[in-house]
Structure 1
Amino acid sequence: MDEKASYKDAGVDIDQANLFITKILPLIKQTSRKEVMNSIGGFGGLFHLDLKKIKDPVLVASTDGVGTKIKIAQMMDKHDTVGIDLVAMSVNDIVVQGAEPLFFLDYIAIGRMDVERNVKLIEGVVAGCQEAGCSLIGGETAEMPGIYGENEYDLAGFCVGVVENGRIIDGSDISVGDTVIGIASNGIHSNGYSLVRNVLFEKAGLTVQDQLDGLEQSLGEELLRPTRIYVKPVLNLLKNFSIRGIVHITGGGFFDNIPRIVPRQCCTVIKRDSWPVPEIFRRIQEIGHVDLDEMFRVFNMGIGMMLVVSEKEAADILERLNILGEKAYMIGSIEKAASDQPSVSFI
């Protein structure tokens, strides 16, 4: 008689998946806003949009992942921070348009159900949602043996927010003479890790346990610093100030992200020495002999979010950011672009 086949024998354990859901339900409830209408477990998450606070709502959506930073988490066997990165990458992308994040969904793809590890992942997502003020209203954990190795996983996240139609920030109000304010990052954040791993691990032969001069913790711990979430300080500023443009410095660094919101007739002039560059970037550049322009094209170099504001409000905005506990600096200005001038230049 032929042996009976089962889903578990094929690599998918439904009982462990159900145990995982049971363990994360109390965590997810910690992110609930009053607009959430159902608990996790339905076919879709329900969110009642409160139109009393907003007259002409525009929904803003974003999706992103964590990239190969996940490899560092796996090398460290530390999985409680990449969930914060996952939330940060999407909520930071929508707040640049003036939108308040409302709800978030996650997607975890795994080779094998590891309940303890996956709970750690969700703990990070929950922490990120709490920091951003949005609700985790659903998600999916997909066991895919044969696609992912037994201890491998990948993450994706999806965020929806809302902004008043007349208050969308798109950079169209940016003009010559405006000031650029940079808000400090928490290190590398979640971009450029393919170059990081190539330089530090493949070429230099370092390990996550190594301690480099100038770093306060091990290399692995430094590389796992979670991406800063800028939602609360930006929304606070928008209550009292007119922010003309906001740039999230992610993949593409300064050179590719700034032109996304600055008008073509303008040039953004950045003063390279106007803020302290974290030591980790200096070490990557030095060890890998990476060209400085390449560093600014790949990494945030210590500035995770940029604000373009009127010159007359710049000092007050900088003071507010400092009161909110943010490290912020006046790092540049908007100038009229010459015919042969690039859209971003450094002095």
Structure 2
Amino acid sequence: MAESQPTTSGLTYASAGVDVDAGDRAVELMKDAVKATHRQGVVGGVGGFAGLFDVSALAQFRKPYLATSTDGVGTKVAIAQALDIHDTIGFDLVGMVVDDIVVVGAKPLYMTDYIACGRVVPERIADIVRGIASACSTADTALVGGETAEHPGLLGENEYDVAGAATGIVEADELLGPDRVREGDVVIGMASSGIHSNGYSLVRKVINVAGWSLDREVSEFGRTLGEELLEPTKVYAADVLDLARAFPVNGEDGSLGHGVRGFSHVTGGGLAANLARVLPQGLEARIDRSSWEIPAIFRVIGELGKVPQADLERTLNLGVGMVAIVDPSVADAAIAHLNERGVSSWALGVVATANPPAESDVDYVQGAKGVDGGAVRMIGSYA
């Protein structure tokens, strides 16, 4: 076996593909944006080994529950990389994380992020983090820390992936969920800003097979395909929590009130699968497809790829990004409240006693994502 030849100058971390100085420059470029998210409770600045949060103010809670969530953006990052636009992907990350937390009525307190890349380009990393910070500000959530890791040989020089985690808090007796939902409750839909961050493997496959380029002008969108696909995820956190405060789940005597019963964040799996997760056994949500018009991006993807409606419904949000379940007595007021805040909302359907269908019925979803709860029945045709 031949002996390896010694190098003349020796190997360094930089020669292995990791540029520590570039990482330091990235931190300098992003730190002001991160600091701008810091709210009461954040301890220390940027660059510590751990993000710190003072929880002494939480002593006023009667029985606090901590809520946590973690997620990524998925293959949507490939669109950002292809277009070389990196300051919006942060909204996708934050939306996927904090909007899962608010579903149970919890207020997101702080978030951390993780970026893995093939090569640290300081300006690109700073753009990603600025987007994350901006979205955190929208959600009134502090960005208290993060990590950027350079993985040469594992990721291409211009490739990266992002992930994040957040922690929130809610009073135990204000926790939202299936046990609050009653027959007759109204299901309210909140419009999505587009595809959000789920289903891009299907979307990218459709456009690749069709031979469409990202710079293609699409009349239905009024802009290029790439611009449409990169539209940031809407972050609902502040609007959802405001609705819960305006229409509380508990009455003045602590009993179940005439307010918000629960929320569902429409992510991977589509509307029916995610809504079924927050319904109790024995009840089903009957969703009227004719109550909204599917946005152009979903119609184009469906037609271009000849994707069956059932597959579209269990992959993409089809225009509904968040759902609220409310007492029927406040439904109209809740819809008006959301619309006044700029969140386009409408009545999607009602909660009724479950009536299980034949096993082959693709319009009926029950027991989704490992939750043996309620069901969702999709009715009629889209407007």
When the two structures are superposed, what TM-score results if normalisation uses the length of structure 1? 0.97
> What amino acid does structure 2 have at the position aligned with 1:4?
G
Q: Which residue of 1 is the match for residue 30 of structure 2?
A: 24
1:117 aligns with 2:149: no
Aligned partners of 2:26, 2:181: CA distance in 1, in Å?
A: 48
1:189 aligns with 2:196: yes
Matched-pair identity in %: 43
Q: Which residue of 2 is the match for residue 318 of structure 1?
A: 335
Deviates more, 1:337-346 or 1:99-108: 337-346
Aligned partners of 1:56, 1:274: CA distance in 2, in Å?
A: 40
Unpaired segments of 5 or more residues in structure 1?
Answer: none
Unpaired segments of 5 or more residues in structure 2?
Answer: 1-5, 248-258, 359-363, 365-374
1:71-102 deviation digits (Å, cap 9, x = unpaired) = 00011111110011111100000000101111
Aligned partners of 2:78, 2:17: CA distance in 1, in Å?
A: 22
3-state secondary structure, aligned to 1:96: helix
Q: Which residue of 2 is the match for residue 66 of structure 1?
A: 73
> What amino acid does structure 2 have at the position aligned with 1:62?
S
> What amino acid does structure 2 have at the position aligned with 1:293?
A
Q: Which residue of 1 is the match for residue 213 of structure 2?
A: 207
Q: Which residue of 2 is the match for residue 345 of structure 1?
A: 377
Aligned partners of 1:340, 1:203: CA distance in 2, in Å?
A: 36
> What amino acid does structure 2 have at the position aligned with 1:178?
D
| Equivalent of residue 111 in structure 2, options 90, 104, 125 | 104
**Shift of residue 314, structure 1, vs aligned partner:** 0.3
Verify the 8 A CA contact 1:274 1:331 in the aligned structure 2.
yes
Larger Rg computed on CA atoms:
2
Q: Which residue of 1 is the match for residue 323 of structure 2?
A: 306
Aligned partners of 2:238, 2:91: CA distance in 1, in Å?
A: 15
Aligned partners of 1:186, 1:345: CA distance in 2, in Å?
A: 24
Task: Give the root-mean-square deviation of aligned CA atoms.
Answer: 1.1
> What amino acid does structure 2 have at the position aligned with 1:168?
L
3-state secondary structure, aligned to 1:215: coil
| Equivalent of residue 44 in structure 2, options 24, 30, 38 | 38
1:294 aligns with 2:311: yes
**Shift of residue 53, structure 1, vs aligned partner:** 4.7
Aligned partners of 1:72, 1:339: CA distance in 2, in Å?
A: 41
Aligned partners of 2:263, 2:40: CA distance in 1, in Å?
A: 29
Aligned partners of 1:172, 1:66: CA distance in 2, in Å?
A: 31
**Shift of residue 46, structure 1, vs aligned partner:** 0.6
Q: 1:318 to 1:199 in 2, by over 3 A?
A: same
Number of residues paired by the alignment? 346
| Equivalent of residue 147 in structure 1, options 154, 162, 174 | 154
Verify the 8 A CA contact 2:272 2:376 in the aligned structure 1.
yes
Verify the 8 A CA contact 1:171 1:246 in the aligned structure 2.
no
Verify the 8 A CA contact 2:283 2:351 in the aligned structure 1.
yes
1:167 aligns with 2:199: no
When the two structures are superposed, what TM-score results if normalisation uses the length of structure 2? 0.88
**Shift of residue 213, structure 1, vs aligned partner:** 2.5
Aligned partners of 1:194, 1:55: CA distance in 2, in Å?
A: 44
| Equivalent of residue 241 in structure 2, options 222, 229, 235 | 235
